A and B are shown apart, each in its own frame.
Chain A
Amino acid sequence: MSEAPLIKLNDLTKTYGLGDAAFQALKGIDLTIRKGEFVVIMGPSGSGKSTLMNVLGCLDTPTSGHYRYEGIAVETLDADQRSLLRRYALGFIFQGFNLLARTSALENVELPLLYRGMSRKDRHEKATAALTAVGLPTKLDSTPGELSGGQQQRVAIARAIVTEPSTLFADEPTGNLDSVTTRDIIEILTRLNVDRGITVLMVTHDENVAACAKRRVVIKDGLVESDSTSP
């Protein structure tokens, strides 16, 4: 408990819709995450865990409450500032991969670097390195359609880590994958956490996947039900 928290949530809520149709997905989340942690977020369907991830990853905005990322009051940022925060500090891995279609693995991984204004040569080097790190050095020119689910997810991981983010958000990254591929992906994430010190937040249903993390946060009905750290 020596370092300042990376992420600090205070009474965070998120409501969808208005009036009678309003649905409160998050009802007041308090959560603190420190640099270098590997946190698994679990919970039943509709508990609000994905909503939490989206808000944490600045893909969505909270309705009320406070969210500090490295001391920055995220709820006060405008859309462009949130974009810049995503660009320079956050990485995402989605259940559905979300790669650009008809675009080679290399170009998909280069994309975040393009928005950083990096030169062609540097982009190419870093993207190749990232794809090598996830075990796809031979698939640089393959498009998502030519890759298996596991390979697509590795491209997505490479795209997320190519910018060397401080936090990696993974929303059910293995939800569409078989058990063998799942193990590979979890291994890559664990290595990124241990070797590079990247903070990883991962949403999962799968007990086996969750076992890789020391800290487990369980969300139920939009509230933190339990928050346990195994030794």
Chain B
Amino acid sequence: MIWNAFAIAVREIGRNLTRAFLTVLGIFIGVASIITMVTLGEGATLAVKAQISSLGSNLLTLRPGAGFGQRGSSAGVPSFTERDAETLGEQIASIAAIAPVRTASLSTIYLSNARGSTITGTTPIYFQINKWSLAEGRLFTEADLRSGSAVCVIGNTVRVELFGTENPIGASIRIGRASCEVIGLLATKGQAGMGDQDDTIIMPLSSLQRRLIGKTSSHDINQISISAVEGTNSLELIAEITQIMRQRRNLQSNQDNDFNIFDTRQIAETLGSTTQLMTMLLAAVAGVSLLVGGIGIMNIMLVSVTERTHEIGIRLAIGATASEVLLQFLVEAVTLSCIGGILGIFIALGLCYGLAQVIKVPFNFNTQINVIAFAFSAVVGVVFGYTPARRAAKLNPIDALRHE
């Protein structure tokens, strides 16, 4: 009987291809849109998370000035000193590594290529704290730091702009008034919502002080990078740092902090919740499109009710039982819904795969959303395909036949 119903259903689908096409289309659109939106939304979330973790998840950055960004001006506020960094590292147990940082904006020239770059002078531990890894060459060492040698490590953006396709390792570039040998190329980190991290030149702090700024006596630094021991409560750590720094900077209890601490974990959490919000928004949009798809299915099913009621009348009149007719309609609805659903999944995944490359987010297959989208449209298809048929099959054959 099931085989029979299946044969009739398939024949009936083939007989009215327009109706079948529209039904499949409705389900297809619903399934494809929700899967595409959620998959890409999740890909974007993952991309943001990956970039945040590339910053270092337990990284704290100290800067002079009352606040981070434009608001907190550092004008007139005293810089840090190398001694500040050393003291913090000695006194706080939950600091895993600490690096003093001095930055300077200078022009860089290689052959005929010139550009302005931010030069970071620091200690070798900085690479570890900021999770930089090496693509080529070598990083500078403690020995380079002690001798203040004219070496630097460059980020990928600098390589592209200064060297193009040339190998930068061993080349000599001009930074400000001094010349400096490129000894290493850093692996790409990408955009992290706070500018291009790869646009950087890093050199020993001593070299920057002596050769570029020209004041060997200056031990001023304008940033301290700290990585906390894994599992540290960053609020407690911030409190400890604040206490020591207030002491070292002779701040009275009625004075505000004249430095700020930037905690990547907080930023990560903020960005994480923002992207989560985006995903939810996308899911809502997808939900609407699923609803629209569902209404499309409903419409085409309801529009064909009159015609189909007449057909049911004919089938009943020549001896089909109500359950046989219903089974046929059920098989028809299930078949069309499944075709639409499977087609929707495949096209959506193909589309996501392509779009993920274009908008540069990872392609993330989410089983759950595929199942939900498929199940929802299948249910809509079956309910709206089956319910009108059920009503018609309950009629006396002669009443069903009168629908013309």
Residue B16 at the chain A interface, CB threshold 8 Å: yes
Residues of A within 8 A of B317 (CB): 59, 86, 92, 98
Stretch at the interface among B77-85, B147-155, B172-180, B395-403: B395-403
Contact partner of B321 among A54, A83, A96, CB < 8 A? Answer: A83
B367 to chain A, nearest CB (A): 40
Stretch at the interface among B112-120, B284-292, B308-316, B329-337: B308-316
- B396 close to A107 (CB less than 8 A): no
Contact partner of B318 among A60, A80, A87, CB < 8 A? Answer: A87
Residues of A within 8 A of B307 (CB): 101
Cα distance, A159 to B314, chains bound together (Å): 11
Q: A83-B319, A84-B321, A98-B314 are in contact. Are A114 and B398 (CB under 8 A)?
A: no
Q: A59-B396, A96-B404, A100-B311 are in contact. Are A83 and B7 (CB under 8 A)?
A: no
Measured as residues with beta carbon below 8 angstroms from the partner, the interface class of chain B is: 20 to 34
Residue B138 at the chain A interface, CB threshold 8 Å: no
Residue A112 at the chain B interface, CB threshold 8 Å: yes
A107 to chain B, nearest CB (A): 7
B305 to chain A, nearest CB (A): 15
Residues of A within 8 A of B318 (CB): 86-87, 92, 111-112, 115, 159
B169 to chain A, nearest CB (A): 74
Chain A: CB-nearest residue to B397: A59
Residues of B within 8 A of A58 (CB): 397
Cα distance, A37 to B126, chains bound together (Å): 108
Residues of chain A in range 126-170 having any CB-CB distance to chain B below 8 Å: 159, 163
Residue A79 at the chain B interface, CB threshold 8 Å: yes
- A115 close to B320 (CB less than 8 A): yes
Cα distance, A60 to B397, chains bound together (Å): 7
Residue B15 at the chain A interface, CB threshold 8 Å: yes
Residue B205 at the chain A interface, CB threshold 8 Å: no
Cα distance, A28 to B399, chains bound together (Å): 22
Chain A: CB-nearest residue to B324: A115
Contact partner of A98 among B8, B313, B320, B399, CB < 8 A? Answer: B313
Q: A59-B396, A59-B398 are in contact. Are A87 and B319 (CB under 8 A)?
A: yes
- A60 close to B311 (CB less than 8 A): no
Residues of B within 8 A of A69 (CB): none
Residue B323 at the chain A interface, CB threshold 8 Å: yes
Measured as residues with beta carbon below 8 angstroms from the partner, the interface class of chain A is: 20 to 34
Residues of B within 8 A of A98 (CB): 310, 313-314, 317, 401
Residue A61 at the chain B interface, CB threshold 8 Å: yes
Residues of A within 8 A of B4 (CB): 114-115, 117
- A87 close to B16 (CB less than 8 A): no
B241 to chain A, nearest CB (A): 80
Residue B98 at the chain A interface, CB threshold 8 Å: no
A159 to chain B, nearest CB (A): 7
Q: Mark A83-96, 1 if CB is under 8 A from B, else 0.
A: 11011101010101
- A112 close to B322 (CB less than 8 A): no
- B323 close to A80 (CB less than 8 A): yes
Residue B11 at the chain A interface, CB threshold 8 Å: yes
A63 to chain B, nearest CB (A): 12
Contact partner of B319 among A54, A79, A94, A163, CB < 8 A? Answer: A163
Chain B: CB-nearest residue to A58: B397
Residues of B within 8 A of A87 (CB): 318-320
Residue A102 at the chain B interface, CB threshold 8 Å: yes
B290 to chain A, nearest CB (A): 32
Q: A102-B15, A117-B4 are in contact. Are A83 and B320 (CB under 8 A)?
A: yes
- A84 close to B322 (CB less than 8 A): no
Contact partner of B322 among A60, A83, A101, CB < 8 A? Answer: A83
- B401 close to A60 (CB less than 8 A): no
Cα distance, A64 to B314, chains bound together (Å): 26
A122 to chain B, nearest CB (A): 14
Residues of A within 8 A of B398 (CB): 54, 59-60
Cα distance, A101 to B310, chains bound together (Å): 10
- A88 close to B323 (CB less than 8 A): no
Cα distance, A61 to B396, chains bound together (Å): 8
Cα distance, A163 to B317, chains bound together (Å): 13
Residue A226 at the chain B interface, CB threshold 8 Å: no
Residue A103 at the chain B interface, CB threshold 8 Å: yes
B1 to chain A, nearest CB (A): 8
Residues of chain B in range 267-287 having any CB-CB distance to chain A below 8 Å: none
Cα distance, A59 to B396, chains bound together (Å): 6
- B313 close to A80 (CB less than 8 A): no
Cα distance, A79 to B325, chains bound together (Å): 13
Q: Mark B1-30, 1 if CB is under 8 A from A, else 0.
A: 100100110010001100000000000000
Would you mind naming 18 contact pairs between A and B with Cβ atoms under 8 Å apart?
A: A58-B397, A59-B396, A60-B397, A60-B398, A80-B321, A83-B319, A83-B321, A84-B319, A84-B321, A86-B319, A92-B317, A92-B318, A96-B404, A98-B317, A101-B307, A102-B15, A102-B16, A114-B4
7 further A-B pairs in the complex, CB-CB below 8 A; given A59-B397, A83-B321: A59-B401, A60-B398, A83-B320, A84-B319, A94-B401, A98-B314, A117-B1
Chain B residues with a Cβ under 8 A of chain A:
1, 4, 7-8, 11, 15-16, 307, 310-311, 313-324, 396-399, 401, 404
What are the 6 A-B residue pairs with the smallest beta carbon separation, nearest first? Answer: A87-B319, A59-B398, A83-B321, A86-B319, A59-B397, A112-B318
